[in-house]
Chains A and B, each alone.
With several copies, the nearest count.
Chain A
């Protein structure tokens, strides 16, 4: 039994940290987040070209590097740590994962090589703007796909789509027929499909873009539907994989908040001594450390379960039990890491005092990212409720 990062994973982390320390500085972030695109396409081209990150978890059969979700973990931690503005999370954690889970071989062949090469960005949308605030996953879907002889007609709205205004490939969840059918379909379509209107949505956290998609009777061919796995189950697995990725990001970001606070507490003097020598500040930092490392345990374990599930799936032996394990691990990690990151981001501001809430200091970027990550893919409350259900609470009568 071994529960630690391998040498290779540590090397990947070091590589990522070197690159991002140079290419995702506060100045880069500030510049990127003020553009509507939300990232620097030149940096993204280098990420794909020099580093090959978009293809990291794409199998070699589809021209990727063929590593697993567990290797993604240190990379995502570093992206969180540097508030990296890039379509990585949308393209890899949402888009590529959706194709890997639910795509047919032909669909994978059609899109994954382009994603791995960095030529195609992608994302997944599922939440309708009118869905109840607490609905999540399938129950938040309001888009409808009417089945025709030649394919499908999609009508309705999807919102809160990460990088939805710029992604080259959109994957959306829709009720086939209507919601009462209970049949959920996943559909892949190019971002410039006729009848589709995409609107960029300004957000409180400017480091991750959201968009809304209006489907005005969009006509899709039959083969736009991802049929590699039943739609409802596939959406659940994809969102779990994405939650695991987001949790890893949150760990790195939380640790950045801790590190900033500790460094500041060591040098900032008040009353003739470093503020970190006062118990109030020292204990705030100690509690942050605890949360960061606990978050890391939860997220890293969830990444391991995700990696096993993907391996099982490739081997054609995905079990109910494994899906349940992933759900449990993903929801635990997302709930814990969301709260941990938010806690650390808030406490980092508190330790920094006045400068902590200025625009000039990076603390606010983390704080806003903590809030947006917390709201994305279901609140901590939603995920805890899911854990309670998985524990069998409430089944007894």
Chain B
């Protein structure tokens, strides 16, 4: 075990830190600490500018292979970048769906033509992607999607409805799971299509969420089209491609998220010191427990990063379950520490009709953490079946 950074890693960190200090200023100052989960629809246009500035300096997609425009840095450097980015207050990455989901999918499953057409826009920060997976009747049971695509005159014609699509109003493209063979069994007959968002036949309806914001949207496809060759992998083999996408996440961003949580934790400690809760032995227990949990989140991620990708340890299987539950419990603790004050939203004069504090947003939004991207229940099934080898439920 060696928990120290190498000389190369230290100088990489210095480079990242210096660049951010120099560039995340001026008109971008207002973005600091904003645009994360629960806040993804904040100042999108400015964040798109920022995304292009990042791209021009070569900071998008640093882990990608060089031939696809990346820097091919090792995983630990990606971690260091993400940590520095959070430390500097870097805003939620508007291009993250392209960089972490669609890009790796195309690199792995896409044709050379697809790679040439779509990857540069992600790398230079000019094009934004969104994800079209969930549907009203395909949540935990994702394979139950009903959106269809039919090939007509060299184009896929799409009908159906997607839901929980972040950034839909701003995205240039969407990767959409569609049923392309209705006669096939559930997991078969699905194709993975790349669809331009700015066309007739697509209607976007924002979903107002518990915080009053509208990070997510419903996307209705009513005869929207995409070219025949915009299918990733083979036709009717989209399920395998989609599952591949989910496997690309290997913990580099978990550490950045852990650091984001650390910032929220620091806010709670500051509040406790201000209002006297820090002297209360019962709350001290809970604050210490949260701190230990946060530390373990980091250690788990470091373990995940330290194993070869071929032998992903069991500690990777529960990362989502762990952080989402930690964050849910933490939100509750934050409110308890604030006491009566926990109710007070931001004053109406300066802010909108319903503008919450950072900790209130965190408290509320954390309730979705245990639901999206695989509910707690689904996560426990996966851990039980894949990591422990317990038998599946009879279907």
Contacts and interface: CB of A to CB of B under 8 A. Distances in A.
Q: Would A and B touch once assembled, by the CB under 8 A criterion?
A: yes
B371 A270 contact: no
A2 B1 CA distance: 5
A6 B2 CA distance: 10
Nearest to A281: B377
Given A271-B395, A276-B391, A297-B296, A283 B284 contact: no
A3 B340 CA distance: 34
A384 B385 contact: no
Residue picked from B280, B322, B388, most chain A C-beta under 10 Å: B388
Contacts of A87: none
Interface stretch (B97-105, B117-125, B148-156, B286-294): B286-294
Interface string B1-20: 11111100100000000000
B208 A358 contact: yes
Contacts of B292: 298, 332, 335-336, 384, 387
A280 B377 contact: yes
Nearest to A262: B388
Nearest to A276: B390
Contacts of B370: 350
Contacts of A243: none
Interface stretch (A142-150, A202-210, A218-226): A202-210
B346 interface: yes
Nearest to A377: B340
Contacts of B249: none
Interface string B276-288: 1111111111011
Interface stretch (A42-50, A169-177, A364-372): A364-372
B72 interface: no
B356 interface: yes
A277 to B, nearest CB: 4
A202 B3 contact: no
A354 B391 contact: no
A252 to B, nearest CB: 15
Interface stretch (A16-24, A115-123, A227-235, A286-294): A286-294
B384 A283 contact: yes
Nearest to B392: A277
Contacts of B282: 381
Contacts of A277: 390-394
A94 interface: no
A159 B344 CA distance: 11
A300 B303 CA distance: 10
Given A2-B306, A278-B377, A350-B371, A160 B340 contact: yes
A204 B345 contact: yes
A270 B288 contact: no
Given A1-B4, A262-B388, A350 B395 contact: no
- Greatest chain A CB density within 10 A among B287, B360, B383 is at B383
A274 B141 CA distance: 12
Given A265-B390, A393-B269, A388 B303 contact: no
B318 interface: yes
Contacts of A86: none
B395 A385 contact: no
B5 A1 contact: yes
Interface residues of B, number: 102
Interface stretch (B24-32, B44-52, B57-65, B330-338): B330-338
Contacts of A375: 335, 339-340, 342-343
A353 interface: yes
B208 A388 contact: no
Given A285-B388, A301-B299, A357 B1 contact: no
Contacts of B140: 270-271, 275, 353
A308 B317 CA distance: 30
Interface in A231-290: 262, 265-266, 269-283, 285-287, 289-290
B284 A393 contact: yes
B372 interface: yes
Nearest to B316: A293
| Chain B interface, DSSP helix/strand/loop, else mixed | helix
Contact of B343 (A290, A293, A372): A372
Contacts of A371: 335, 342-343, 363
B300 A270 contact: no
B318 A286 contact: yes
A295 to B, nearest CB: 8
A1 B306 contact: yes
Interface stretch (B192-200, B224-232, B256-264, B347-355): B347-355
B273 A393 contact: yes
B114 interface: no
A251 to B, nearest CB: 12
A359 B212 contact: yes
Nearest to A360: B208
Contacts of A6: 1
Nearest to B208: A359
Interface stretch (A55-63, A103-111, A126-134, A180-188): A126-134
B137 interface: yes
B1 A396 contact: no
Contacts of A384: 284-285, 288-289, 292
B253 interface: no
B243 interface: no
Nearest to B379: A286
B174 interface: no
Contact of B375 (A70, A353, A391): A353
A304 interface: yes
Contacts of B288: 335, 384-385, 387-388, 391, 393
A-B pairs with lowest CB-CB distance, top 3: A133-B339, A282-B384, A359-B208
Given A276-B390, A278-B377, A375-B343, 7 more contacts: A1-B2, A275-B140, A286-B388, A297-B296, A298-B295, A350-B367, A357-B368
Interface of A: 1-6, 34, 70, 127, 132-134, 159-160, 200-206, 210, 262, 265-266, 269-283, 285-287, 289-290, 293-294, 296-298, 300-301, 304, 332, 335-336, 342, 346, 349-350, 353-354, 356-360, 364, 367-368, 371-372, 374-376, 379, 381, 384-385, 387-388, 391, 393-394, 396-397
Interface of B: 1-6, 9, 76, 134, 137, 139-141, 144, 163-164, 207-210, 212, 269, 272-273, 275-285, 287-289, 291-292, 295-296, 299-300, 302-303, 305-307, 313-315, 317-318, 321-322, 328, 332, 335-348, 353-354, 356, 360, 363-365, 367-368, 370-372, 375-377, 379-381, 383-385, 387-395
8 contacts: A133-B276, A134-B280, A160-B343, A276-B391, A277-B392, A336-B296, A353-B139, A371-B335
